[in-house]
Amino acid sequence: MDEFNFLKTSSDLLYAVKLNKEYESYRISLSEFPESRLLSELKDDKSKKTFWINIYNAFFQILRKFQNLEHPEVFRKKTIDIAGIKLSLDDIEHGILRKFRWKYSLGYFSKPFANKRIRKLSVKDLDFRIHFALNCGAESCPPIAFYSKDKIEEQLNFATEGFILSNSQIDKNTKTVSISKLFLWYRADFGGKKGIIEIVGHYFKKDLSKFKIKYQDYSWKEYLDNFQD
């Protein structure tokens, strides 16, 4: 048991879920090791992003596909046990990875009374790229990838670039850029309208500062097992 590693186990769990293999042993291991060890292993934001993205993507599939939890319960129910801490998918996304932002504030407001444990687990700096790594089982969601600490920066850049380039359209005639509603729902995470335009322009290698933004309809049609090739 001394060989246990939170980061590796998060990836192993996700891989087992992808292959529809036995995953309960990984869940048990993740729950049994103490919070002190979790905190000691996840010391920096690279470790935290790697671990919690893998955990989120694995548990969404588990809760929806194998335990048949429906929306919105699948996001709200605290059924995920990590180091003895009961968490929901919302806790992981909005509490830990988004640094305890209030879910419905477009990213502009933090939760004033965020759980102390969530605060200890959360990232130091909010990284907008996580929005292109988390998969919530809908057709318009980004695909699922396996993240590792030593490649997390490269992987998040790849995921962000791939999603933006394949889910955005630029109309030069009307000077309009059509983008995913993810940018609207988490607007402040991207730096507001100006930040959104700069981010999209960066990946298209174009100056879009004079362009208007149009948000596309988001398809909530269920699409499970959307793993990246």
pLDDT given at position 179: 98
- Is 220 among the domain residues? no
For residues 96 and 131, membership in a common domain is answered with yes
Q: Do 37 and 119 share a domain, yes or no?
A: yes
The pLDDT mean for the chain works out to 97
pLDDT at residue 229 tops 90: no
Q: What is the pLDDT of residue 114?
A: 85
Q: Hunting for tokens 């293999």 — which residue is that? A: 21
What is the residue range of 90's domain? 6-139
pLDDT tens digits for range 98-142: 999 999 999 999 988 889 999 999 999 999 999 999 999 999 999
C-beta separation of 218 from 180 below 8 A? yes
133 and 181 housed in the same domain: no
Q: Is the same domain home to 124 and 167?
A: no
Q: What share of the chain in percent tops pLDDT 70?
A: 99
Q: Is residue 223 part of a domain?
A: no
- How much is the pLDDT for 3? 83
Domain count for the chain = 2
Residue 166 lies in a domain: yes
Nearest to 226 by CA among 57, 75, 92: 57
Residue 39 within any structural domain of the chain: yes
Domain match, 76 and 172 both: no
Same domain, 175 and 208: yes
Q: Does 99 share its domain with 206?
A: no
Who's near 30: CB < 8 A, 6+ residues apart? Answer: 6, 9, 10, 13, 55, 81, 82, 83
177 within 8 A of 197, measured Cβ to Cβ:
yes
| pLDDT tens for each residue of 191-215 | 999 999 999 999 999 999 999 999 9
Stretch 17-38: mean pLDDT = 97
Structure tokens given for 83: 């180091």
Residue type for 62, please?
I
Q: Give the three-class secondary structure for 147.
A: coil
Contact 38, 120 (CB under 8 A): no
pLDDT digits (tens, 9 = 90+) for 59-92: 999 999 999 999 999 999 999 999 999 999 999 9
Residues 173 and 90 occupy one common structural domain: no
- pLDDT given at position 1: 44
